Amino acid sequence: MVITSKDNELIKHIRKLSDKKYREEKKEFIIEGIKLLEEAINENAKIDKVIICDDCNLEGTIYNELKYEIARLDCIYVSEKIFKLISDVKTPQGIMAIIKKEDKKEEIKYDEDLSLILDNIQDPGNMGTILRTADSLNIKQVIISKGSSDVFSPKVVRSTMGAIFRISIIESEDLVKTIKDLKKHKINIVVTSLDTNKSMYNIDYNKSAIVIGNEANGVSKEIQDLADNKVKIPMIGKTESLNASVATAIILYEAMRNKLKN
């Protein structure tokens, strides 16, 4: 059976999953594209349903082993018109899935050697790229403030390229309190700040949590006041600031280089 009506209950459900409140209520989110579905399968994500465009040409885009894995799942077929209606991208690949969120609440692990804290990151593209960068360095824990971009929105999930399945993402109701708790556990709080002359190259990153701030306003003053180290990325050209995801990549890779050296 191929779904051809936008009034179908499943189609209505998928469309509603673009809304954060509905995602939180149902504890589900959407992934789209072959690469993300492959990552979800490899990481044993809870895949509820796979939605496939019946009249889209997927021949040659999915290798046989992945076809076998997909065939084991609950697959629903829809017309191309309906798939484009529920897709979040301009040129859809013709395959998406509904993922169930884990029931357990993620807890902060105080024994992690390097963690990342995101203070009110707003841009979904930045959020996704930052999570992908953290995953590239095998950072297992990212703490985000409540007001940050929703990590389970379609654009963020797509930008992570699968990192969403490997990182423990903890939403903090009160980031100041969370940081105070981290400090009690002897975790060094490092914030990026323009209000310092200390270079990011001149500190020890042993057992640290690095705080990256809002794209427009940086790390909030209340959190800067709790920092053990305020650092800046040296800028020798005329540009005065960097995109949040670029700045994150630079400082995380320096922290990792610092650790590998010691």
60 vs 150, which has greater pLDDT? 150
Once rounded to an integer, what is the mean pLDDT over residues 45-60?
86
Long-range CB contact pairs, 170-175, < 8 A, 24+: 170/106, 170/107, 170/108, 170/141, 170/142, 170/143, 170/144, 171/143, 171/144, 171/145, 171/146, 172/143, 172/144, 172/145, 172/146, 173/146, 174/146, 175/117, 175/119, 175/143, 175/145, 175/146, 175/223
216 vs 134, which has greater pLDDT? 134
Once rounded to an integer, what is the mean pLDDT over residues 165-178?
95
* 104: number of Cβ within 10 Å: 6
- Report the pLDDT value the prediction gives residue 71, as an integer from 0 to 100: 92
Once rounded to an integer, what is the mean pLDDT over residues 171-189?
96
Q: What band does 59 get if pLDDT is binned at 50, 70 and 90? A: low
- Report the pLDDT value the prediction gives residue 86, as an integer from 0 to 100: 96
In the chain, what are the domains? 2-100 (3.30.1330.30), 114-261 (3.40.1280.10)
Query: What's the distance, Cα to Cα, between the start and end of the chain in Å?
Result: 60
